[in-house]
Amino acid sequence: MSKLQKTLLSKKLNNVLIASIIITMSILDLSLVLLPTKPIKALLYAPAESSGTTAPKTPTEFKAIPGDSQITLSWKAPTQNEDDSTLENLAGYEIYRSMDNINFSNLSGNSIAGGIFRKNILITETIYIDRDVINGIIYYYKLAAFNTRGYYSESSILSSGVVPTPQIIPTNTSITINEGAQETTSQGVILTLSATNAAQMLVGNTSDFIGVSWEPYATSKSWILTSGDGLKTVYVSFKSSTGGVSETISDTITLRAPEEETEIPEKPTEEPPKETASTQELGVTIKKVIEEEKKLVTKVDKNLSKRVSGNILLQVESHGEAWYVYPNDEKKYYLGRPEDAFEVMKKLGLGATHEFISSHTIFPSRVLGKILLDVEQHGEAYYIYPKDKRAYYLDRPADAFRIMKELGLGITNSDIRKIDVGEIR
């Protein structure tokens, strides 16, 4: 056999041997791929079959959230290769960490070592929690994506270092309903809340807080109890600015329906009872007040009307007559007796969902000065006071009238005559 023949035979046997090794390794471990000893351009290692393949594009939206003795990393997976072709063989990711932003170590384990690509040690999710960190130390991270052939992307780099921070748990938490009252006849109550280091709070009628969401921390909040008589519980949990959440606490109050007045039946008469003189006089008096006020309004001051819109006005130079300036038309409506005031508020009310009313402590400007009616419950009425932007529950007519008087603004006769008169028909 010639020297040339021996050389060709030797090469053929070597090729058979290499092919045999690749096939055997594929059977034993599908996650291992034998790699050549020389790297291909821009790669530390390359797969045996490199023809027509490219590396994935760099992962995007690489973020880090510090926590207590941990840092949570997240990113968006690439969907294309570097040549803009569709990425169909993404295998996973390697994450690298450094404390000086120069020397990085591989957190996930080196998937390419000794010429072997180990897919099984790659991170396959788009989130990773690094728990091997110390609070107060700055850490830097890089991220690379790999395909199944061992090609990898350029690294994603965080723009700045991340410092894990201990979570602060709110303390000294408390909640009271209606200033600690044992009972109430109204579904609408006021919660008094307190917590140290609280930035948000979660309030609900059940301990699992279904249907509610975190809201800014406040020391007072209007709340609607669940319907029906019986013991009611309101739950609250507080969260700090670092994400620490307190234990859930609660308070209870008994809801009882107001006692109805028992009417003593009168003896039957042949004719229906006539309207009493007092009722007639009251009706005439209210109508007379409105008619007289219309005559006294000679010129409307639109600037004044707009400035006091949504407020209750009390005539301090007369007998304290109360007027409500309706925001929609900026006219004043006479409130008269408690029953009249309650009726005016109901008719000028704006329908709102139960969730909108119960989820706000401070209400948006678009509803300031208006009356909100809970259309998903029993039509409960709430006055949104323009000054503090809070809701005040208008329970029975007498209670509603009292609240209106307490929140009213004093106004002179000369000024109130510059506001047009409205009338409920």
- Cβ neighbourhood burial of 264 (10 Å; 0-12, 13-18, 19+): exposed
Do 162 and 175 fall into the same domain? no
Give residue-wise pLDDT tens across range 389-411.
Answer: 888 887 777 777 777 767 888 88
73 in Cβ contact with 61 (< 8 Å): no
Give residue-wise pLDDT tens across range 339-388.
Answer: 777 777 778 888 888 888 888 888 888 889 898 888 887 778 888 988 88
End-of-domain residue from the set 139, 166, 193: 166
Handedness of CA 376, 378, 379, 381 (dihedral sign): negative
Residue-level pLDDT at 259: 56
Residue-level pLDDT at 227: 86
Kind and range of the H or E run holding 354: helix 354-358
Count of domains observed in the chain:
3
116 contact partners, CB below 8 Å, separation of at least 6 = 32, 33, 34, 35
Do 204 and 154 fall into the same domain? no
d(CA 184, CA 181): 7
End-of-domain residue from the set 220, 255, 290: 255
Residue-level pLDDT at 395: 72
Identity of the amino acid at 121 = I
Do 235 and 284 fall into the same domain? no
Any domain includes 2:
no
| Strand 381-384 versus strand 391-394 pairing type | antiparallel
Any domain includes 15:
no
Any domain includes 68:
yes
d(CA 405, CA 312): 8
Do 343 and 418 fall into the same domain? yes
pTM of the model: 0.37
- Cβ neighbourhood burial of 8 (10 Å; 0-12, 13-18, 19+): exposed
Do 57 and 150 fall into the same domain? yes
Residue-level pLDDT at 281: 46
Any domain includes 290:
yes
Q: Where are the beta strands (DSSP E) in 124-260?
A: 127-130, 140-147, 156-157, 171-177, 183-184, 188-196, 200-204, 215-216, 220-224, 230-239, 249-255
Any domain includes 385:
yes
d(CA 148, CA 259): 76
Do 221 and 298 fall into the same domain? no
d(CA 79, CA 287): 74
End-to-end CA distance of the chain: 121
Do 109 and 242 fall into the same domain? no
Do 247 and 333 fall into the same domain? no
Any domain includes 272:
no
CATH number at residue 74: 2.60.40.10
Any domain includes 218:
yes
Residue-level pLDDT at 379: 77
Residue 251 burial (CB count, 10 A): 19
Residue 234 burial (CB count, 10 A): 24
Q: Where are the beta strands (DSSP E) in 197-342?
A: 200-204, 215-216, 220-224, 230-239, 249-255, 312-315, 322-326, 331-334
3 state SS of 131: coil
Do 42 and 144 fall into the same domain? yes
243 contact partners, CB below 8 Å, separation of at least 6 = 67, 167
Residues of the chain with pLDDT under 70: 1-53, 111, 113-115, 258-285, 405
Do 70 and 182 fall into the same domain? no
Residue-level pLDDT at 292: 84
Domain around 153 = 26-166
| DSSP track, 364-391 | -GGGTTPEEEETTTT--EEEE-TTT--E
The angle, 0 to 180 degrees and rounded to 10, between the axes of the packed helices 397-406 and 338-347 is 90
Do 175 and 97 fall into the same domain? no
3 state SS of 72: strand
Any domain includes 141:
yes
End-of-domain residue from the set 133, 166, 199: 166
Residue-level pLDDT at 37: 31
Do 161 and 178 fall into the same domain? no
Residue-level pLDDT at 26: 31
- Cβ neighbourhood burial of 371 (10 Å; 0-12, 13-18, 19+): buried
Residue 182 burial (CB count, 10 A): 9
